Amino acid sequence: MKIILIPGSLRKNSYNKMALNFIKKEIEETGNKAEIIDLKKVNMPLFDEDIESAGVPQNIIDFQNKLLESDAFIIAVPEYNHSVSGALKNAIDWASRSKSPVFKNKSIGLTGASTGMGGTIRAQIAILPTLRALGGNIIPYQSYIAAAQNVFSEDGNINDDSIRNNLRNLVLNVIGQSKK
């Protein structure tokens, strides 16, 4: 099984990317494959039908193809102003324009880290209607990492056993639902 991991934050040292680095290792320990797609490196323009009708850029086609080849997703949803980051929403909009449905009938796990006490709960709730409209199977186990500045060390390690266990459970739930 191949699981694509998408951090919705563009920041180099984002807590969401740190969480996905841990998740990637956990997935690989189960014998499955994982790939993190850094949206900053994809360098996608804002979705625009004029760009699409002139010819979808190759970097977008490559992004869509990677998503199509996956069996499941884990998305780290940062919270910007009580909602989803523009980068993540833009990536989902481009993904939705693929020739084949990218998210349809695939398991999607959600997590998110923030420095606040809500741990991205509002952003994760905000993204649910979009992912459901695209046919994704959102697993009912979501992970919220609050006060992330106290959870992650400078080198990206997780200092909290309960957070590590929570993220492991997220991985097991995504794998388990994907095998159904």
- The pTM for the full model equals 0.96
| Residue whose C-alpha is closest to residue 139's, from 96, 178, 167 | 178
Residue type, 75: I
At which residue do the structure tokens 């807590």 appear? 15
Which two three-digit tokens encode residue 37? 């797609």
The predicted-structure confidence for 118-158, as pLDDT tens digits, reads as follows: 899 999 999 999 999 999 999 999 899 999 999 999 889 99
The predicted-structure confidence for 67-123, as pLDDT tens digits, reads as follows: 999 999 999 999 999 999 999 999 999 999 998 999 999 999 999 999 999 899 999
Q: Which helix (H) or strand (E) holds 97?
A: none
Pairing of strands 79-80, 2-7: unpaired
